Every structure is written in C-alpha cells, then in structure tokens.
A = this chain, B = another copy of it.
Amino acid sequence: MRKLGIFLSLSLDGYYCDRNGDMSWAHREDPEFKAFVTGNAASGGELLMGRVTYELMASYWPTPFAMEREPETAEGMNSLPKVVFSRTLKAAGWSNSRLVSGSLVEEVRSMKAGEGRDMVVLGSASIVRQLAEAGLVDDYQFVVVPIALGGGRSVFEGLSRQLHLKLTGTRAFRNGNVLLSHITSD
C-alpha cells in the first residue's frame, strides 16, 4: 500500500490563494525554508497535481533560468515521476510526466493499492479536496504563513464532513512559516 500525502501553504485565515487567485504571498523564501523545500523535492516520491499546478511548474522548472537559480530543486522536480490529472490537457510534455484523464479518485485508489513510491500532491486544491473527501489522504502537511488575507479560497470549502486530523509534528522556520504535520485520525 503506497501512502499519499498533501503539501500546501495556507494563510492564517486558511486560504491557499487570495480573492484574486494570487499565491505570491506564500513565497517567503529564506535559506532555511529553501533547504527544506529542496529536501522535499529530493525525497523521491511521486508527485500528483492538477492542470493548473502542472502548467505553472512545467513552465518554470525545466527552464535554464530555474536550473541556474535553483539547481537542486529543479533537478528533483524534473526527474521525479509526475502524474497530472486533467480532462482538458492533450499531453504532458514535462519530463517524467504522465497524464491521467479518467476518474481522479479511482485512479488514485488503484495507484495506492499498487507497488511503488509514496505519493504527494503539490498544491492543486481541487484535487486535495476530492481526495480528502474520498478518505484517500494519509498525511497532511500545511505550511502556515503568518499573514491574514481577509478573503480567498479554501481548499476544504464544501467538504461534506469535518476532517479530524492528528498532529504529528511542527517546525517553525525563521521566515515565520510554521509546518504542521498530521495524519488522518478518523
């Protein structure tokens, strides 16, 4: 059984993007936080994402600019196996990417039952919500950014039941971000 995790930045008021869809407030990089993200990218899981996150990442990580600026993270992001879930994308040209246009929940359930690396969903709020709703997420990592946006979009909006989690760890970064790690508890 492969484990499935999610990794998402949230504002103090629980939004992954502001009222205009902007997520730039979540980027508060400092050397310590960057090393953490790079370590994540090198940890060797399989990355799951939706079209929006895929297109954002595929337009950056393979570029010479990214390779120059963040060589380790770029190397990790380009070489890791990736699955993009989309009914509208025609092809996924980024290295080591696979396009799935069928049912997200059924595909992930089948992937979890098979052999292979652990999986992590990057960003991709709509995917997180569907997988959480289906009870397929094993662990939740949230980076809480010390900002209140006053409005925005919540990854759990519309969840049909409360999601009870069990805290497994915390880590505070010097840039003020706090990582909260959980596993599901029900």
Contact = CB atoms under 8 A, between A and B. Distances in A.
Contacts of A160: 150
B170 A148 contact: no
A1 interface: no
A10 B163 CA distance: 14
A148 B163 contact: yes
A182 interface: yes
Q: For this complex, into which size category does the number of interface residues on chain A fall?
A: 35 or more
A154 interface: yes
A178 B180 contact: yes
Contacts of A156: 12-13, 148-151
B162 A148 contact: yes
A34 to B, nearest CB: 17
B14 A15 contact: yes
Interface of A: 10-15, 18, 25, 132, 140, 142, 144, 146-151, 154-167, 169-170, 172, 176-178, 180, 182, 185
28 contacts: A10-B13, A10-B14, A12-B156, A12-B165, A12-B180, A13-B154, A13-B156, A13-B157, A18-B162, A146-B167, A146-B182, A147-B162, A147-B163, A147-B165, A148-B162, A148-B163, A148-B165, A149-B156, A149-B159, A149-B162, A150-B159, A150-B160, A150-B161, A151-B158, A167-B172, A167-B176, A170-B170, A170-B178
